[in-house]
Amino acid sequence: MPTATTTATTATAEAVIETRALTKRFRGGRLAVDHLDLTVPRGSVFGFLGPNGSGKTTTIRMLMGLIEPTSGSARLLGHPMPRAARTVLPRVGALIEGPALYGFLSGRDNLVRYDCADPEADPRTRRDRVETALERVGLGPAAARKARAYSLGMKQRLGLAAALLQPRGLLVLDEPTNGLDPQGMREIRTLVKELAGDGTTVFLSSHLLDEIEQVCTHVAVMAGGRLITQGPVGDLAARGRLAVATPDPGDAARVLKGLGVVDVVVAENRVTGELPSAETDLADLNAALVRADVRVRAFGVERASLEEAFVALTGEGFDVAG
């Protein structure tokens, strides 16, 4: 599996986000992000995970030029940030820490204000862009209502609509389904997939591991300000445990430990453990059990969920909203 160490040298021209040794130390000495090497491939839906205090939000704020790093570098769409912010940000849509809305304006008029603030937006096609964005996030019927009357989920949708007013090379979303009901969450997942299909790279921070697993192609996991791992979701979720069903669990555990299987757990007539490496030949393990007169009723590797892989990597639970 790719790790912070192995991926540090794999950056290519196809990286839409690239950081090298990105570090942020706040006043008082608190180290929030520690030498982060992150590579987000073009065209990916990239999930960004980390437990509370992992440095995830601080990283996003540095990427968007909202705060400056203490050291290291960050590039968005091939340009250095925050130095090239004026060049880069018009090509980036973002929904970070909830949308900033005018409560006294309607949803439609909020989007008009956002569009007017874009120096590259053609005023002749403004209304068409606004209506298209509203319909795309399902707010067409509520477009005339004052934003103050919107639910939290509707406000999230409006913020996402603002990010979609122009075609974007990169979309940065921080908890985009916050406050949405299950149907709204499904709609946003579908929209993210459509955007990726159209060529937009989506960088998605979420505390919902199920959401990440359903929509993302790649993932990075942060803990304690450091990058723990990054790579395709399938690689991370593929981490599994060997599982053996046998009426001889004690003997099976002894044989497996002798063959390098670690974290062996015996529960009644079932033995599980971590394989020594991804190259371990399962047939050899099974044959060794049989030679030791262990009666094997079932044998295989159980695929771990993304949640299980996250917990194994960070040692923490899956409330990762920080």
pLDDT at 314 over 80: no
Q: Which residue has the higher pLDDT, 149 or 241?
A: 149
pLDDT at 5 over 60: no
| pLDDT (0 to 100) of residue 174 | 86
Q: What is the per-residue pLDDT across 199-216, written as a single tens digit (0 to 9) for each?
A: 899 999 887 777 787 889
User: Which residue, among 255, 272, 267, 211, has the nearest Cα to 48 in the 3D structure?
Assistant: 211
Confidence of residue 320 (pLDDT cuts 50, 70, 90): very low
pLDDT at 151 over 60: yes
Residue 103's φ and ψ, nearest 5 degrees, are -65, -30
92 three-state secondary structure: strand
| pLDDT (0 to 100) of residue 3 | 41
| pLDDT (0 to 100) of residue 310 | 64
pLDDT at 156 over 90: no
Across all residues in the chain, what is the average pLDDT? 85
| pLDDT (0 to 100) of residue 6 | 38
Please name the residue that has the structure tokens 């103050």: 148
pLDDT at 240 over 60: yes
| pLDDT (0 to 100) of residue 275 | 81
| pLDDT (0 to 100) of residue 311 | 65
Tokens of 66: 């909202």
| pLDDT (0 to 100) of residue 224 | 86
Q: How far apart are CA 252 and CA 289, in angstroms?
A: 6
Q: Which residue has the higher pLDDT, 208 or 9?
A: 208
User: Which residue, among 242, 240, 196, has the nearest Cα to 43 in the 3D structure?
Assistant: 196
Q: What is the per-residue pLDDT across 44-92, written as a single tens digit (0 to 9) for each?
A: 999 998 877 788 889 999 999 999 999 999 999 999 999 999 889 888 9
> Which residue type, as a one-letter code, is found at position 271?
V
The domains located in the chain, with CATH, are 15-236 (3.40.50.300), 240-303 (3.30.70.100)
Q: Where are the beta strands (DSSP E) in the chain?
A: 15-25, 31-41, 45-49, 71-76, 79-81, 92-95, 170-174, 201-205, 218-223, 226-232, 240-245, 262-267, 270-274, 298-303
Q: Are strands 240-245 and 270-274 parallel, antiparallel or unpaired?
A: antiparallel
| pLDDT (0 to 100) of residue 149 | 94
Q: How far apart are CA 171 and CA 192, in angstroms?
A: 9
Q: How far apart are CA 137 and CA 161, in angstroms?
A: 6
User: What does DSSP assign to residue 166?
Assistant: S
pLDDT at 168 over 70: yes
pLDDT at 98 over 90: no
**Mean pLDDT on 236-244:** 74
**Mean pLDDT on 26-35:** 92
Confidence of residue 11 (pLDDT cuts 50, 70, 90): very low
Confidence of residue 239 (pLDDT cuts 50, 70, 90): low
Q: How far apart are CA 3 and CA 195, in angstroms?
A: 27
Q: How far apart are CA 223 and CA 190, in angstroms?
A: 29
Answer for the pair 105, 146: CB distance below 8 angstroms, yes or no. yes
Q: How far apart are CA 19 and CA 36, in angstroms?
A: 6
Please name the residue that has the structure tokens 């250095």: 80
| pLDDT (0 to 100) of residue 9 | 35
Angle subtended by helix axes 107-116 and 126-136, to nearest 10:
130
**Mean pLDDT on 139-151:** 94
Show Cβ contacts of residue 42 under 8 Å, excluding neighbours closer than 6 positions: 14, 15, 16, 201
Q: What is the per-residue pLDDT across 259-309, written as a single tens digit (0 to 9) for each?
A: 999 889 898 899 988 888 767 888 999 999 999 999 999 998 876 666 666
User: Which residue, among 148, 137, 138, has the nearest Cα to 109 in the 3D structure?
Assistant: 148
b/e burial code for range 261-300 (CB count within 10 A of at least 16 → b): beebeeeeeebbbbbeeeebeeeebbeebeeeebeeeebe
Distances (CA, A) of 55 to 32, 33, 50, 224, 313: 5, 5, 8, 7, 16
Confidence of residue 97 (pLDDT cuts 50, 70, 90): confident
67 three-state secondary structure: coil
Q: Specify whether the backbone of 32 is left (phi greater than 0), alpha (psi in -120 to 50) or beta.
A: alpha
